Amino acid sequence: MRLLVGLGNPGARFSGNRHNIGFMALQAIARRHGIGPWRRRFQGVACEGSVGGARALLLLPGTYMNESGRAVAEAARFYKLPLADITVFHDEIDLPPGKVRVKVGGGVAGHNGLRSITAHIGNGYRRVRIGVGHPGAKELVYAYVLSDFGKAERIWVDALTAILADNIDLLLRGQDASFQNKVHLAMVAKGFGEAAQGDDASA
């Protein structure tokens, strides 16, 4: 069993926020692979099915971002999962909009959802960092991530989440660099080269 986690805040008022792009990615994966319905489990909502030949549990914590680790830890304990089988999708202000980077372990870079998960299970899980851009000043970050994507931004968000869903099998096979490059090239092909800057997998 693989555990795929999308980070965000529950409820309609947050659903379009930049901070919720992890939720959007998981919902796109569920749609693409015909997984559902979502049911209340593990202090959130979850659905289970086959993704790229692997059995996967998709989880959206309902604990609010700062307590995401409670839901992730409960699911991980239930399935007795090693950290290597856990992948978390989250917003990343230190990457340009539409840029995607995969990393295993490391720091949390001020992200409260990652901080909570790391506190509950350790830091050796995989993170799919989805760039949403930076507002330019530290004091603007809170309001920025809790504001909705603009209408023009939603075009690349919808394209990117669909591309993530199309290529998730590479990630589940441990081909992180191939996954990153496929996502980048697909975004460029759709005309979002500037929204997904860079074509290397090393950053």
Q: So what's the pLDDT on residue 195?
A: 55
End-to-end CA distance of the chain: 29
Which DSSP string do the residues of 155-193 spell out, in sequence order? HHHHHHHHHHHHTHHHHHTT-HHHHHHHHHHHHHHTT-T
| Residues in Cβ contact with 14 at an 8 Å cutoff, skipping those fewer than 6 apart | 8, 20, 146
Q: So what's the pLDDT on residue 197?
A: 45
Q: So what's the pLDDT on residue 194?
A: 59
Q: Which residues of the chain, if any, have pLDDT below 50?
A: 196-203
Q: How far is CA 111 from the centre of its chain?
A: 13
CB 155 within 8 A of CB 190: no
* CA nearest to 104, candidates 81, 131, 122: 122
Q: So what's the pLDDT on residue 172?
A: 93
CATH topology of domain 2-189: Rossmann fold (3.40.50)
Cα separation, 37 vs 185, whole angstroms: 31
* CA nearest to 149, candidates 159, 157, 141: 157
Cα separation, 52 vs 182, whole angstroms: 15
Which residue of the set 19, 90, 111, 184 is catalytic? Answer: 19
Active site residue 19: yes
Query: Can you read off the two tokens belonging to residue 113?
Result: 């959802």
Cα separation, 134 vs 94, whole angstroms: 6
Tens-place pLDDT, residues 149-166: 999 999 999 999 999 999
